[in-house]
Structure 1
């Protein structure tokens, strides 16, 4: 704590010169205040590290989301064999789309295209037929 006192007794009261004067502290008081200061620094450092860690984790999740979704769609008909599909809802930066899975990788298609709707119906019929065959074969007598 700083205490100010006049430099000389000969000075006039309206022109006081103030000089800082440290109050004497015992060794225990110095170490306690020093430890408190270090604790505050440590807490501040931990808070900064925690915030940076949260940002890094959120950034990693954001990057993963961006790489696994369609941000653009195509209206062109897919000519390679389609092995499956997935409907994607709009969740920026991802757009509403139908993701068709092919041997060349996923293809993002516009969900309103007629050929897309037809292909979805075709794939669903095949899926139902496959489920029916598996069900029939599992209930058939040996």
Structure 2
């Protein structure tokens, strides 16, 4: 009889622990994968930086700047002065590349063709530009 009571007590204890674990993890809510930065480094990134993204705090994820480097991702603390400096440098480089791409893609050779028309008794000569191929 005592063995039966022990088993029941162990089962009740196990059920209680499982219930607490289920409540702590949100019950039947979908499991949130932890493919984010759960801690951030204050060390400067030495590998070449290809890009970055900003991660907001959403437990277990911490607020961080994730730098994409040639060696992989690096989670950096967002309050570090060097982090803001690198972001500014990357944004300036991105703007320069974007304006260079726009300038190169819109460069078109044009030829001018003069034309005339009369308005209010005055002859006006205009020049229209057409792209040449």
Do these two structures clear the TM 0.5 threshold for a shared fold by scoring above it? yes
SS at 1:58 equivalent: coil
SS at 1:141 equivalent: coil
> How far is 1:141 from its partner?
1.1
Residue of structure 1 in register with 2:60 after alignment: 93
SS at 2:60 equivalent: coil
Q: 1: CA distance between counterparts of 2:60 and 2:98? A: 35
> How far is 1:85 from its partner?
0.3
**Equivalent residue for 1:104, pick from 71, 76, 79:** 71
More strand per residue: 1 or 2? 2
2:87 equivalent to 1:120? yes
How many residues are treated as equivalent by the alignment? 83
Residue of structure 2 in register with 1:7 after alignment: none
Q: 2: CA distance between counterparts of 1:92 and 1:122? A: 30
Which aligned segments of 4 or more residues in structure 1 are displaced greater than 6 angstroms? none
Counting only pairs closer than 5 Å after superposition, residues 1-142 of structure 1 correspond to structure 2 as 55=28, 58-59=30-31, 62-63=32-33, 66-67=34-35, 69-142=36-109
Map Cα deviations across residues 40-73 of structure 1 (whole Å, 9 max, x no partner): xxxxxxxxxxxxxx94x812xx12xx12x11100
Gap runs ≥5 in structure 1:
1-53
Which TM-score applies when normalising by structure 1? 0.55
* RMSD over equivalenced CA pairs, Å: 1.5
Q: 2: CA distance between counterparts of 1:131 and 1:103? A: 22
